[in-house]
Amino acid sequence: MTKGRLEAFSDGVIAVIITIMVLEMKVPHGVDAAALRPVIPVFLSYVLSFVFIGIYWNNHHHMFHAVHHVNGAVLWANLHLLFWLSLAPFVTGWMGENHFAAVPVAGYGSVLLGAACAYFILTRVLLRIHARDSTLAKALGRDFKGKISVLIYVAAIPLAFVQPYISCALYVIVAAIWLYPDRRFETLLMQ
Amino acid sequence: MTKGRLEAFSDGVIAVIITIMVLEMKVPHGVDAAALRPVIPVFLSYVLSFVFIGIYWNNHHHMFHAVHHVNGAVLWANLHLLFWLSLAPFVTGWMGENHFAAVPVAGYGSVLLGAACAYFILTRVLLRIHARDSTLAKALGRDFKGKISVLIYVAAIPLAFVQPYISCALYVIVAAIWLYPDRRFETLLMQ
Amino acid sequence: MTKGRLEAFSDGVIAVIITIMVLEMKVPHGVDAAALRPVIPVFLSYVLSFVFIGIYWNNHHHMFHAVHHVNGAVLWANLHLLFWLSLAPFVTGWMGENHFAAVPVAGYGSVLLGAACAYFILTRVLLRIHARDSTLAKALGRDFKGKISVLIYVAAIPLAFVQPYISCALYVIVAAIWLYPDRRFETLLMQ
Amino acid sequence: MTKGRLEAFSDGVIAVIITIMVLEMKVPHGVDAAALRPVIPVFLSYVLSFVFIGIYWNNHHHMFHAVHHVNGAVLWANLHLLFWLSLAPFVTGWMGENHFAAVPVAGYGSVLLGAACAYFILTRVLLRIHARDSTLAKALGRDFKGKISVLIYVAAIPLAFVQPYISCALYVIVAAIWLYPDRRFETLLMQ
């Protein structure tokens, strides 16, 4: 089974998710700059979610570049990941509209945690059908970033009830960890 | 006529359907966990519909992998299937917002029935232009899952007026039947 | 310049148009079958628009199958067509919500007329860069269906102010003309 | 790393952006032509934004046709461009609903400026990994249109507070500059 259509479908779903999130930013009715003020928290959570969805697309792109073949289990593990990502517009709007209150911030973290676990499951399902010395296996390696992200989310969710901004800072740190250039796949694929 | 663009267009439509369904989950205005309570039934019907659309994408992907060529009738049979799937966001929102009341649950089943019939028609139209010993014909075989699904839907729709949760349980059973690994295509394509 | 990305982009835009139209069908709050009554006219105009967008995708698919190369003018002529099609969700919702009143029905026809003219322009721009004996030129031929459609729209728009249902009947007739199998491209491409 | 999936993802995002903008045109409830009057400014800003997004897609298409390979930096520079474009539906709706008032017009210009800068950054990141005598480098040349656009936006944003229609006229001029056939890439690619 080839990976082409799985990539195309994932691209389509991620493209829709990243774009319809902007619909949560309701057009203000006022005409002065002050009318934008209630939009600011929604805008900030939109930026954060855009970066996260961008990171997932990037990682998905890189990983599947090294994938040689897929099977039915991969299709479902991939749909499972897309399911968690599809909840992003909902929690983004909820967190933004409520000015980063405790429960929505914890809910946002839970969706990020779900997506991170789904991505981890996807890597395991892919590794099961690839050889130990395959490009994919070498490129994924110990998957340090994936594991540290899960740990940070697990800490951030309860911390939201202490001080939501700590959780938000932790989400930004996870995004920064991923944005920091990760040469794993690029290095291996160029060999 | 090649199947590439039909696959790409179907992927696009299914990607949009599976993603805009989440827009039916209206962002709650409250900041406590209780604010999520009215969203729960919509969320549950979203999960069910996500799984159904995922099953259709999976089956579509597998079937067209075995398809050799298409004609104008296939394009329209495919659009007919996409039409029924495009009604999923509507019935999902209706069923969820009304907490699984009888009429919306029956309506949801009718859309599932319509999609199942459309898929059946699509297989017939495809078989008409493929040889009896083609990979497609062998892979579709007796199409047991397709037929049993239609029967369950036909039973579930009137049962919604007795007890909607019975119908919902039947929809979950159909999803489970399809999720149970179906090696028909995979086995044949690997030979 | 290759046509691949133009096809992919058009597929994407048409896939989004055909799917977001369903968002104009607002989920009813009632739980009985009567709650569906106000949705019926919107549903009917949704079905009509779905068929029209499907016809455009089909024709686009067939025509570009015979296209050999594209240039900058083709890209813009294609975007012009997509512009008119993108207005379909708006006029579909307007016509449906107002139960096929005169002005919305005329507006619906105007968008169909705009799309038909845009499609005609696209064929001219394509013919200018293809030889007279190219597959494309032969397949387009006299373009009878395209011309008769424009004439019917021109008649249907003013007739909406006499009796909107006459206009609606004319739109259905145009759809039927196009749905009637058109072997032009298929016949030529199989030679 | 190949450019195929980057192009497909960008096509998907741009296709969704250009189409969901139409959702900002709320379906009017009236049935006479006067009901359309409040929609006119939203329609005009929709047309302007459709043309701008069309120009970006066109330029993106042409430029990536000449691109030979991409790296991680290109993926992010491209996502940065898509981020600015994704704000188009928001500012389009805001500018249209407020009948081209000063602040929304300036906001619209800021998003155009952001997109123009993001496109400029994308060209620099691409040039860094292509040879000086590559097709891409030759085709981009001095990038006169890109630079003049940025200058016009920088002038148009403050001018919105003097007279918004001057800014709107300047936006239309930028669109016209880009619509005027640009043979740079076409000429070079045909050699």
At B65-76, the pLDDT tens digits run 889 889 888 999
Answer whether residue D191 shows pLDDT above 60: no
Res. D72 pLDDT band, cuts 50 70 90: confident
What would the two tokens of residue C99 be? 């139960």
Q: Do A90 and B58 touch (CB under 8 A)?
A: no
Name the average pLDDT for chain B. 90
If one compares D183 and B155, the residue with the highest pLDDT of the two is B155
Query: What's the burial of C129, exposed, middle or buried (CB within 10 Å: 0-12/13-18/19+)?
Result: middle
Q: Comparing C-alpha atoms, which of A49, A57, A45 is closest to residue A81?
A: A57
Interface test with B, best of C5, C19, C32 (most B CBs within 10 A): C19
pLDDT of residue B46: 96
Cβ of B150: how many Cβ atoms within 10 Å? 17
pLDDT for position A33: 81
A189: confidence class by pLDDT, cuts 50, 70, 90: low
**Chain D residue numbers touching B15 (CB-CB < 8 A):** 12
Q: Are A23 and D87 in contact (CB under 8 A)?
A: no
* Inter-CA distances, A87 with A80, A111, D16, Å: 11, 7, 18
Q: Which residue spans within A74-170 are E strands per DSSP?
A: none
Task: pLDDT band for A171, please (50, 70, 90 cuts).
Answer: very high
The whole-number average pLDDT for the span A160-189 is 83
Contacts of B23 in chain C (CB under 8 A): 23
Residues of B in contact with C189 (CB under 8 A): 1
Closest CA to C92 of C129, C53, C61, C131: C53
Q: Identify the pLDDT of residue D190.
A: 54
Alpha-carbon span B85 to D26, nearest angstrom: 25
Q: What pLDDT score does D183 carry? A: 59
Whether residue C191 is predicted with pLDDT greater than 60 in this model: the reply is no
Which residue from D minimizes the CA distance to C93?
A: D27
Structure confidence at residue D189 (pLDDT): 55
pLDDT value of residue D10 = 94
Query: What pLDDT score was predicted for residue C3?
Result: 87
Who wins on pLDDT, D133 or D182? D133
pLDDT of D128 over the 60 cut:
yes
Percentage of chain B beyond pLDDT 90 is 63
How confident is the model over D122-127, as a mean pLDDT? 93
Contact status, residue B42 vs residue B98, Cβ threshold 8 Å: no
Output the six-digit token pair for D189: 């690619």
Bigger pLDDT: D140 vs D112: D112
CA distance A171 to A32: 32
Q: Residue A71 is nearest to which of B20, B182, B186, comparing CB atoms?
A: B186
Per-residue pLDDT tens digits for A114-154? 999 999 999 999 999 998 888 888 888 778 888 899 999 99
Instruction: Quote the pLDDT of residue D188.
Output: 58
- Inspect the interface and report whether the beta carbons of D65 and C1 lie closer than 8 Å: yes
Joined together, the tokens standing for residue A135 give: 């490009």
pLDDT of the residue at B138: 84
Least confident of A36-45, A87-96, B37-46, B136-145: B136-145
Which chain C residues have any C-beta within 8 angstroms of a chain B C-beta?
Answer: 7-8, 11-12, 14-16, 18-20, 22-23, 25, 27-33, 35-36, 47, 50, 54, 57-58, 61, 65, 179, 181-183, 186, 189
Give dist(CA B60, CA C69) in Å, integer.
30
CB-CB neighbors (< 8 A) of A15 in chain C? 12
Question: Among partner residues C15, C72, C102, which is closest to D186 by beta-carbon distance?
Answer: C72
Give the minimum alpha-carbon distance from C188 to chain B in angstroms, rounded to a whole number.
11
**Distance from C-alpha of D29 to C-alpha of D34, rounded to nearest angstrom:** 11
Q: Taking the CB of residue A119, how many other CB atoms lie within 10 A of it?
A: 23
Residues in C whose CB is inside 8 Å of some CB of A read 12, 15-16
Is the pLDDT at D177 greater than 90? The verdict is no
Check residue C104 and give its pLDDT. Answer: 94
Decide if pLDDT at D187 tops 70.
Answer: no
Query: What residues contact residue A55 under an 8 Å CB cut-off, 6+ apart?
Result: A175, A178, A179
* pLDDT of res. B189: 56
Regarding predicted confidence, which is higher, C27 or C191? C27
Q: Are C92 and C26 in contact (CB under 8 A)?
A: no
pLDDT value of residue B190: 54
| Across B46-55, B115-124, C160-169, C180-189, least confident range | C180-189
Give the pLDDT of residue C169: 96
Confidence of residue D138 (pLDDT cuts 50, 70, 90): confident
What's the rounded mean pLDDT across residues C26-48?
Answer: 89
pLDDT at C111 exceeding the cut of 90: yes
Q: Find, in chain C, the residue whose alpha carbon is nearest to that of D13.
A: C12
**Which amino acid would we find at residue D28?**
P
Give the pLDDT of residue D155: 97
Measured between CB atoms, which of B24, B79, B103 is closest to C27? Answer: B24
Residue type for position A17? I
Query: Which of C103, C110, C111, C157 to mutate: most D Cβ within 10 Å?
Result: C103
Contact list in D for residue A183 (CB cut-off 8 A) is 72
Q: What is the pLDDT of residues B107-155, one digit of tens each?
A: 999 999 999 999 999 999 999 999 888 888 888 877 888 889 999 999 9
Task: For residue range B29-57, list pLDDT tens digits in order.
Answer: 888 888 888 899 999 999 999 999 999 99
pLDDT at B6 over 80: yes
Angle between helices C4-20 and D4-20 (to 10 degrees): 40
pLDDT at A51 over 90: yes
Q: Which amino acid is at C130?
A: H
Please report the pLDDT score of residue C182 as a whole number. Answer: 60
- Contact list, C36 vs chain B (CB under 8 Å): 103, 107
Instruction: Tally C-beta pairs within 8 A across A and B.
Output: 82
- Choose the mutation target among A9, A45, A53, A98 for the interface with B, i.e. most B CBs under 10 Å: A9
Helix (H, G, I), strand (E, B) or coil at B2: coil
Q: Which pTM value belongs to this model?
A: 0.92
